[in-house]
Chain A
Amino acid sequence: MPVVPLISIILVAPLAAFAFFGLLSLTGRNYARQDLVSTAAMLVAFVCAVLLFTNVVADPDKYSHDGAEIHSLTWLPLGSVNFSMGFLFDSVTSVMLLVVTIVSSLVHIFSIGYMHGDPRYPRFFAFLSLFSFSMLFLVVSDNLLGIYIGWELVGVCSYLLIGFWFEQDAPANACKKAFMTTRVGDVGMFIGMMMLFTKFRTLSLYGTDGIFALASNLTTADMTWLSIAGVLIFCGAVGKSAQIPLHTWLPDAMEGPTPVSALIHAATMVAAGVYLTARMFPILTADSSLFIAYVGAITALVAATIAIVRFDIKRVLAYSTISQLGYMMLAIGAGSYVAGLFHLTTHAFFKALLFLGSGSVIHAFHAAHHAHDHDHEHDHAHGDDHAHGDNHAASFDSFGIDPAQDMRHMGGLRHKMPITFVTMLIATLSIAGVPYIFSGFWSKDAVLVEVLYRAISWNSVHHYILFSMAALAAVITAFYMFRLIFMTFTGEPRNQEMHDGAHESPWKMAIPLIILAVLSFPIVNKWSFEKYVKQPAQPHVHAPKHATYDASQDVLHAQLGLSDAHAAEDAHSEDAHHDAAAGHHNPDHDKAHNIVVPLSFVIVIVGIGLSALFYYWRKISADAVAARLRPIYTLLWNKYYFDELYDGVLVALTVAGSKVLGLFDLRFIDGIVNGVGVVVQAGCARVSGWFDNTFVDGLVNLVARITWSIGGRVRRVQTGMIQNYLLAVVGGVVLLILIFRALF
């Protein structure tokens, strides 16, 4: 299958759908069936993505290496430096294309039902199309500039879609926050790009004069520099993939319509950060890798703990997403490209499913909600004490949570919404990592194995710590995900009115759920994934000096070199990870595997068991535990005070600073004549007292004032009598002549 035309179609189809909307709306009209246009465009893109995938299947040896096929054009020729734009096609791209088009198509279909009746219905689909275009563009770009362009475009689509219901304050705030927070990360990424560009004079990734080829020739003297560049590029991923410390926007982004959360904030855009980090894999150094791994692990753990105490069903899923993204980062930081991308793929499907499922629940509740009058809503907000048994957050009242998303109002929905229940249960089992049957197990298992393998083979304390954090996060994940299922679908209905109004969603919404549920089984399995995706070399990652790993590994390489031509080819790159990905012939790897698989059973049993004790059998009262652990609970409830830190300190300081600066400009710069002297003499301490004296503009005013006063004096000369003037003129001439005569 020809690559360029197909990719072009993939890009053009959704863009055309958006352009159709955009041009039409300039005339003040909308096409009512924009949904069909956008969905059709997405399905076309999906078909093309499948066709492209057949290339990979046909020739795995070629496409399994990153940067396999590149078609690039000069985009911005400056003379000696040129920026190019182009398509990159390899197995990773292909997988990403499939993931994006599948999830996007399904979300489009789901939205036809979910968004039905919204006053801005056509606009929603147009934005979805624009987003799909941007995301696909990001994925197929062969250079950092292209990725950055797609990167910012998905950001702005996310902004538009989070703020879709902008009449309410919460989405309006959330969309701004999302854009700003990711932008902070993007600036880091941009600085990283500037560093790379200044060094290599290009932003292309592949090819003989691409960044990777040039970076592989760097010596140890440049390692610190390269580490910093890598970390800065990773900053972009931190913002976009909501890693700590830039994670706070993602939970707020749940103010957007739920299909948007499923598409953008679970499956695709947030995964773009992981994709970027994976793409930059070859330039990561040991230091930057470790940094990434730590950020990932901390994020996984912190987000998981916060998720335990959330009541908003979408917020739980949001923190779960952050946590899972942390896993992917951890995998890549630990040197396993394959495991990271594998987890990305599986996660995209089951997390999209979870979000769409929650959307289905919310839709049902909203429908129920609309059936009631306004007073009822009021009742729910205040009357939860007696209405719910599960009320261990009584002191943290439900203010701020949409009643239709509040799990304390749910319960017993499994009979009302069987399809939603079953599909969501599958996804939950998958994310919890129930062994063998579900895709989530395989990918999470792969991550844990890789980290542990690194710990064992390098004898690295860091990786042991990372591994324990990841394992702990896995337990918590199983716990809070089942808490969600139990609170929503089992037990007795806690809000009878809403419960009565709820019903199973229409088929348009159910079908995507079913398809995604199928995809949550190991359709995408480890073996096929590892067949198609091969880990690129990391020339700058070496085993730590203290490790006993090097010598034995060299021997191993040598032995394998005789038997396995492919391994020999990679042997010179000193890259042990390749074998790790291939996996099966490495004793350390086997060892790790043998530890992780039983551990997974333990994790799942402990996590689900605890959850069931609390929320299914209700043997332990969550309220009591919360009361016992009050400080910890408060900390978690307040999300480790990240928001307070940012809003109260950073944002407030910036705004206050800008106000001061604005006043400064108005008063001070505008009047420094006296100010400068004072500043110089008395120093900045007394500046505030002298704000009224202005500086630069004051200089201008001073000129004006001097002119004014001179004019006031000189004006008396103007007697209004012509002859006086004439006398002055003639006298002046005479005087001049006299002077002239005297001089010459």
Chain B
Amino acid sequence: MELNPQELVFYLFALLTIASAVVVVTIKNIVYAAFSLMVTLFSVAGLYVFLQADFLAATQVIVYVGGILVLILFGVMMTSGSLDLKLKLERGQLFWGGVVSLTIFGLLLSVITNTPQWENVDIGASQEPTTRKIGEMIMKEEYLLPFEIASILLLVALIGAALISRKEVRDE
């Protein structure tokens, strides 16, 4: 089996994604877990590039790595009493959780392998950058309304988060 450089890089990213995700799930130190998650997110962004989704990849990096991850780290630090918390795992929960996840994995895998029309399907993709097209679809075409709703959602989340996390002011 011959690997061209492009494929090599792809598999590298794939491996990185999976490995770092495994670390996220298994490592006990939460800070390490967070950093490991950063690796996962980066490599997923890389995968997006392979999928000709350049804008998506950029967003992934900016929003996830730049936003969400920082948020998570803040959360870790603000609840710092448990920074070095040794996560205890209940045996039953661990066992059943594993069983369920593995079953899900098996199920989905069987779906993928048993769906012949997905084999070697490649309808092709345009090579030009997607940013312009995404912009047009969001601002002019059918995704205008979802876009607006998403913006309202963000606003609501913003206000809600601020309201919930601020110190409660008791009514006098």
Contact = CB atoms under 8 A, between A and B. Distances in A.
Contacts of A734: 100, 103-104, 107
Contacts of B96: 727, 731
Interface string B85-109: 0000000010011001001100100
Contacts of B103: 734, 738
Contacts of A738: 103, 107
Nearest to A729: B100
Nearest to B96: A727
A558 interface: no
Nearest to B99: A731
Interface in A702-730: 723-724, 727, 730
A730 B100 contact: yes
B97 A727 contact: yes
B102 to A, nearest CB: 10
B101 to A, nearest CB: 8
The interface residues of chain B, by DSSP majority, are classed as helix
A727 B104 CA distance: 12
Nearest to B97: A727
A679 interface: no
Contacts of B97: 727
B58 to A, nearest CB: 33
A270 to B, nearest CB: 78
B107 A727 contact: no
Interface in A546-586: none
Interface in A429-475: none
A660 interface: no
B100 A723 contact: no
A700 interface: no
Interface in B62-97: 93, 96-97
A737 interface: yes
Contacts of B93: 723-724, 727
A731 B107 contact: no
Contacts of A731: 96, 100
A723 B100 CA distance: 13
A724 B93 CA distance: 8
A737 B100 contact: no
A738 B96 CA distance: 16
Nearest to A734: B103
A734 B107 CA distance: 9
Contacts of B104: 730, 734
A741 to B, nearest CB: 8
A157 B96 CA distance: 84
Interface in B108-125: none
Contacts of A724: 93
Contacts of A737: 107
Nearest to A730: B100
Interface residues of A, number: 9
A731 to B, nearest CB: 5
Contacts of A730: 100, 104
Contacts of A727: 93, 96-97, 100
A170 to B, nearest CB: 67
Nearest to A741: B107
A445 B160 CA distance: 106
A737 B100 CA distance: 12
B71 to A, nearest CB: 21
B109 to A, nearest CB: 13
A642 to B, nearest CB: 77
A724 B107 CA distance: 22
A738 B93 CA distance: 21
A731 B93 CA distance: 12
A731 B98 CA distance: 11
A391 to B, nearest CB: 89
B104 to A, nearest CB: 6
A723 B107 CA distance: 22
Nearest to B108: A737
Nearest to A727: B96
B39 to A, nearest CB: 25
A730 B93 CA distance: 13
A454 B103 CA distance: 108
A724 B90 CA distance: 11
Contacts of B107: 734, 737-738, 741
A730 B107 CA distance: 13
B167 to A, nearest CB: 25
Determine which residue in B96, B97, B100, B104 has the highest number of CB atoms from chain A within 10 A of its CB, and name it.
Answer: B100
B92 to A, nearest CB: 9
B100 to A, nearest CB: 5
Nearest to B103: A734
A731 B107 CA distance: 13
Nearest to B107: A737
A306 to B, nearest CB: 84
A731 B103 CA distance: 9
A724 B94 CA distance: 11
A716 to B, nearest CB: 15
A332 B103 CA distance: 100
A730 B97 CA distance: 9
Nearest to B110: A741
Interface string B114-150: 0000000000000000000000000000000000000
A131 to B, nearest CB: 69
Interface in A730-744: 730-731, 734, 737-738, 741
A569 B166 CA distance: 111
A144 B16 CA distance: 102
A723 B96 CA distance: 11
Contacts of B100: 727, 730-731, 734
B150 to A, nearest CB: 26
A20 B11 CA distance: 104
Contacts of A741: 107
A724 B97 CA distance: 10
A14 B105 CA distance: 95
A414 B97 CA distance: 115
B8 to A, nearest CB: 36
A734 B100 CA distance: 7
A717 to B, nearest CB: 14
Contacts of A723: 93
A738 B108 CA distance: 11
Interface in A592-632: none
Nearest to B101: A730
Interface in A317-333: none
B106 to A, nearest CB: 10
Nearest to A724: B93
Nearest to A723: B93
A721 B171 CA distance: 31
A723 B92 CA distance: 12
A738 B100 CA distance: 12
A203 B155 CA distance: 79
Interface string A175-200: 00000000000000000000000000
Interface string B19-52: 0000000000000000000000000000000000
Interface of B: 93, 96-97, 100, 103-104, 107
18 contacts: A723-B93, A724-B93, A727-B93, A727-B96, A727-B97, A727-B100, A730-B100, A730-B104, A731-B96, A731-B100, A734-B100, A734-B103, A734-B104, A734-B107, A737-B107, A738-B103, A738-B107, A741-B107
Given A734-B100, A734-B103, A738-B103, 7 more contacts: A723-B93, A727-B93, A727-B96, A730-B100, A730-B104, A734-B104, A734-B107
**A-B complex: 8 closest residue pairs judged by Cβ atoms:** A731-B100, A734-B103, A730-B100, A727-B96, A734-B100, A734-B104, A737-B107, A727-B97
